[in-house]
Structure 1
Amino acid sequence: MYKFLEQTVAGYMTRAAKTVTRERTVRELSDMFERDDFNSYPVEEDGQVIGIVTKFDILKCFIFTPSQMVPPYEQLMSRTVGDVMTSEFIYVRTDTKLTRVLQLMVDHRIRSVPAIDDEHRLAGIIARRDVLKALADCSGG
């Protein structure tokens, strides 16, 4: 297990991460979630990561209160990623230790974290399964 303490994001992240733009509709995004079996996508604009959008963000569209009534389903599905994305998001760098990633995932109950380079460009994405693989690799299991 001591070997795990030295592992970084670069060694286990998925480098070819799929992204979306803020113009994509919630319907298109929902189809992508279904097809790719992902829980989140980084949102890119001009080559930089400007946010993240999750299945949870779609679900939030359907919350209503006495002061906020839910519009028709088709209207909600026509909204854009830019309308529902989270622009203040947790990210890591490729040299971040996996112990830190693990702590972020547990503390914030997140499934994956974008890895960003010095120019705020997407280098990859690190998911829970990647951290679990690192733990197994480092334990000899």
Structure 2
Amino acid sequence: MIREDDSVRFAAEEMKKHNIGSLIVIDNRGKVSGIITERDLVRAIAEGNINSTVSNYMTRNVIGVTENFDPNQALQVMLDHGFRHLPIIGKDGRVKGILSIRDLARTLIDPHYLTYGKEPEEVRGTGIACPVCGVEIDEYGYCGCGSGSG
């Protein structure tokens, strides 16, 4: 997290240090007031305002998801609002983390399908063997070597 009155430069340094693409912004009471993302940093730098405060570039009125969010609903929120990051809000109302579009892609897009063009359920128990190791695809859609399916 970062404070509203921190500089854009500091936000960029924090993102680099932690290898992240966004930071939750808090006000002087410690309440969430926004989010600043890589896009916001690019805009600030392009305008020559690297030393400006985060509050000048952050997105306000942040929409978040609960800890037990539905990935499809989270994706819909992102699409509806043009967001690439959503705060994850715990039952206690505190921010627990940030959900990125990359996180959702990993959850919603099965790498198995991307690699082999078939959903796991299409090959489960069909006797189809993995082209790499020759082992029959198991009930989860994967083979013994872990390379994938047929």
Do both proteins adopt the same fold according to a TM-score greater than 0.5, normalized to the shorter chain? yes
- Once residues 50 and 101 of structure 2 are traced to their aligned partners in structure 1, the CA distance between those partners, rounded to angstroms, is 29
- Once residues 133 and 55 of structure 1 are traced to their aligned partners in structure 2, the CA distance between those partners, rounded to angstroms, is 20
- When residues 128 and 61 of structure 1 are mapped into structure 2, their CA distance, relative to the original with a 3 A threshold, is closer
Q: Pick the aligned partner of 2:86 from 84, 109, 113.
A: 113
* 1:32 match: 14
Gaps of 5+ in 2: 112-119, 121-139, 142-150
Q: Could you state the TM-score of these two structures normalised by the residue count of structure 2?
A: 0.60
Q: What is the number of residues matched between the two proteins?
A: 113
Q: Could you state the TM-score of these two structures normalised by the residue count of structure 1?
A: 0.63
* 1:39 and 1:111 in contact (8 A); partners too: no
- Once residues 106 and 43 of structure 2 are traced to their aligned partners in structure 1, the CA distance between those partners, rounded to angstroms, is 31
AA aligned opposite 1:38: I
AA aligned opposite 1:55: E
Kindly report the root-mean-square deviation, in angstroms, between the aligned alpha carbons of the 2 structures: 2.8
* 1:48 and 1:122 in contact (8 A); partners too: no
* 1:125 match: 98
- Once residues 78 and 59 of structure 2 are traced to their aligned partners in structure 1, the CA distance between those partners, rounded to angstroms, is 16
* 2:125 match: none
Bigger relative contact order (CA 8 A; separation at least 6): 1
Tell me the SS of whatever aligns to 2:60: coil
* 1:101 match: 74
